[in-house]
Structure 1
Amino acid sequence: MLTLTLTADLTGVTELRPDDTPESPFWYTFKVQCTSCREVHPNFVSVSRFEANEMSGSRGEANFVWKCKSCKRESSATIKAPPISYEQKSPPTRQKIIEFDCRGLEFTDFKPEGDWLATGIDSGSKFTAIDLTEGEWFDYDEKAGEEFVPINPRPMLQNLYDLLSIPPPLPQTVAARSEVNEEVVIRLKWGQTEYKGTLVSIDSYMNIQLSNAEEWIDQEKTSSLGQVLIRCNNVLWIQGANQNNGNGDTKMDG
């Protein structure tokens, strides 16, 4: 048996799982390796627990049947049970999502393609069609007062052999000590663009939610944006609107 595990940093949501039903099957996408000759198929393959394929020699059916182009050996894999929901924990833990009964092959690199589901912890809101191909996802929970609900499962190291996850990279620069509900200025990495507004929420990865936000380019106001969500990899620095510390750049160590 091979086990697909997931490590995810969840805030405000739990029960993260593939949307995997007979009406909406989830296709688990991997690279495949022959256990006989150790040849790795160059392309990704997809496996559904609702698809049945016949094995040669009247040996029954499997969800996935594959013949190695190198040694010509036929192998198979079958999913025995539905996926298990990933439960929110702090700090995040590695949890089993699904198991494969593999005969003559191994699955290696996993792609989180397909729709995922999650549930709001306090509100019970159902989030659907979650896309994790970029390694992170954000949304608003209207039942919880539009609070910031990030899912950040980067690195999304779903492994088959209990490999450890690697923490996501932090922004290169950031100014410290900005508090929630404080007026802040955020400088983006691109051009001379800044956002000014009220800090509503900020997570450990520097994903930022502002209200009453304004966009400024080259010290000139260009538009009023209202509620905005700024992803961490766009942020150069953040400082209080009333702070005056030169160019505002404070190096983030670590």
Structure 2
Amino acid sequence: MYALTLTAELNGVTNLRPKDTAETPFWYTFTVQCTSCRETHANPIAVSRFEVNELSGSRGEANFVWKCKNCKRESSCSIKTSPKPYEQKEPPASQTIVEFDCRGLEFTSFSPEGEWLAEGLESGTKFEGIDSLQEGEWFDYDEKANDEFMPVNPRPMLQGLVNKEIEVRLKWGDTCYKGVLVSIDSYMNVQLTNAQEFIDQKFVSDLGQILIRCNNVLWIKGVNQGENADVKMKD
């Protein structure tokens, strides 16, 4: 038996889960390996709890049936129950989403592609069409709660600001930096050149080239782009 577990930092939402019904089945995407010869399937496979395939030799049915090209052994996988919602907790904790009864194969990696659902923590607002978990990040606006929660995935905006002047506000001390964005890395750490430091909107000093760790950042915007360009970042 294998369990798909999830650890997520949820801000303002709870009950994160795959949209998985008979009308709109969720396809759980994995890479798989044969437990007999250790051969890994060349391409990712997808398993749905609503698809049924026959096992050879009249041995019953399974949601996924695979015959290893290397050792010719037949393997199978079935999903026994519907997915369990991931509940908001502080601090975030690993929770089981769904379990798989695997025979002769094992999963080596999971890709969260597909549509996910969530609910507003206080408002109960229903959020559908969450399809950006492959990036590991998602945000939306809860009109009932009048609150924007978990603004994540700022990378596309930041990439568009490379070689342009930006303003970076820190989480504390009324401190911000202005300078030209040189680069960002995969962790969203920000490199500036011609940087200047401001505290409480007052100029403090010229710093030249600096690196700002992502977990220190409250928001980032292009200079002269206004408040609507703000992108908050969470550590």
The reply on whether 1:233 has 2:192 as its aligned counterpart is no
Structure 1 residue 150: Cα displacement: 1.3
Instruction: Give the aligned CA root-mean-square deviation in angstroms.
Output: 3.2
| Partner residue, 2:61 | 61
Task: Classify the secondary structure of the residue corresponding to 1:22.
Answer: coil
- Which protein, 1 or 2, shows the higher relative CO under an 8 Å CA cutoff with sep ≥ 6? 1
Question: Contact between 2:189 and 2:212, CA under 8 Å: does it hold in 1?
Answer: no
Per the alignment, residue 23 of structure 1 pairs with 23
- Paired position in structure 1 for 2:164: 192
The percentage of aligned residue pairs carrying the same residue is 56
2: CA distance between counterparts of 1:2 and 1:18? 17
Count, aligned residues:
192
Distance 1:89 1:234, change over 3 A: same
Moved over 3 A (4+): 234-241, 247-254
Separation in 2 of the partners of 1:67 and 1:2?
Answer: 19
Q: Matches of 2:109 and 2:151 in 1, distance apart?
A: 21
Report which of the two has the higher share of helix: 2
> Residues 141-199 of structure 1: CA distance to partner in whole angstroms, max 9, x if unpaired?
11111x121176x9xxxxxxxxxxxxxxxx9xxxxxxxxxxxxxx9x961123259xx8
Amino acid at match of 2:205: G
8 Å CA contact retained: 1:115, 1:129: yes
Q: Which residues of 2 match residues 33-112 of structure 1 at below 5 A?
A: 33-112=33-112
Q: Is the 8 Å Cα contact of residues 123 and 145 (structure 2) preserved in structure 1?
A: yes
5+ residue gaps, structure 2, are 172-177, 181-186, 216-235
Residue ranges of structure 1 left out of the alignment (5+ in a row): 155-170, 172-185, 204-215, 219-231
Structure 1: distance between partners of 2:78 and 2:42: 21
Contact in 2 for aligned 1:189/1:234 (Cα 8 Å): no
Task: Give the TM-score, by structure 1 length.
Answer: 0.67
Residues 190 and 212, structure 2, Cα contact 8 Å, conserved in 1: no
Contact 2:22 2:50 in 1 (8 A): yes
